[in-house]
């Protein structure tokens, strides 16, 4: 099976643009990033589906290797539905953000800023571990010095 290089380049560009848009603070750009990433995933599944073949309907004179695999097609339909659901959810978030604050930009949270300015040192996790000292160092039990305290079975 040979993969179309142009399709791989288009997928790479779609993933790069989608991730770039997801990292923006504007919810509209995040929505566009999700849609572009969804299209990139659809192309990825299409490219991994293998070669073209006959429709996956049974015919007695066709061998099994001549059929196309229906699984990538089902996965693409599932990915389209998931992308649509996430898009609808994001549109609801954008509308709510616009109705409340007349902006679709994610604002900085005061608590997040406070936590980000704290020291990363945690006494319980980052303090040095003391050397393991035990009172039994060097006191190995010899098998001939073991005393039995009960009747033997």
The b-or-e profile of 36-73 (16+ CB within 10 A means b, else e) is bbbbbbbbbbebebeeeeeeeeeeeeeeeeeeeeeebe
Domain that holds residue 93: 5-54+66-116
Over residues 105-113, mean pLDDT: 84
Residue 46, domain member (yes or no) = yes
Residue 89, domain member (yes or no) = yes
Residue 138, domain member (yes or no) = no
Residue 143, domain member (yes or no) = no
Looking at the chain, the number of H-run helices and the number of E-run strands are 5, 0
pLDDT tens across 19-73, in order? 999 999 899 999 999 999 999 999 999 888 877 777 777 778 888 777 778 888 8
The count of structural domains within the chain is 1
Residue 121, domain member (yes or no) = no
CATH assignment at residue 85:
1.10.287.3510
| pTM across the whole model | 0.66
């Amino acid at each position: 099976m040979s993969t179309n290089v142009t399709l791989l380049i288009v997928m790479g560009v779609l993933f790069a643009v989608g991730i770039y848009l997801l990292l923006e603070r504007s919810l509209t750009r995040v929505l566009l990033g999700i849609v572009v990433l969804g299209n990139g995933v659809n192309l990825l599944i299409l490219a991994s589906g293998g070669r073209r073949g006959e429709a996956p309907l049974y015919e007695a004179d066709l061998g099994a290797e001549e059929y196309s695999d229906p699984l990538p097609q089902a996965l693409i339909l599932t990915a389209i539905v998931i992308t649509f659901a996430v898009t609808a959810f994001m549109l609801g978030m954008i509308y709510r953000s616009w109705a409340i604050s007349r902006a679709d930009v994610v604002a900085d949270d005061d608590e997040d800023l406070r936590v980000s300015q704290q020291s990363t040192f945690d006494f319980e996790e980052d303090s040095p571990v003391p050397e393991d000292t035990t009172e039994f160092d060097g006191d190995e039990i010899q098998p001939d010095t073991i005393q039995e305290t009960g009747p033997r079975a």
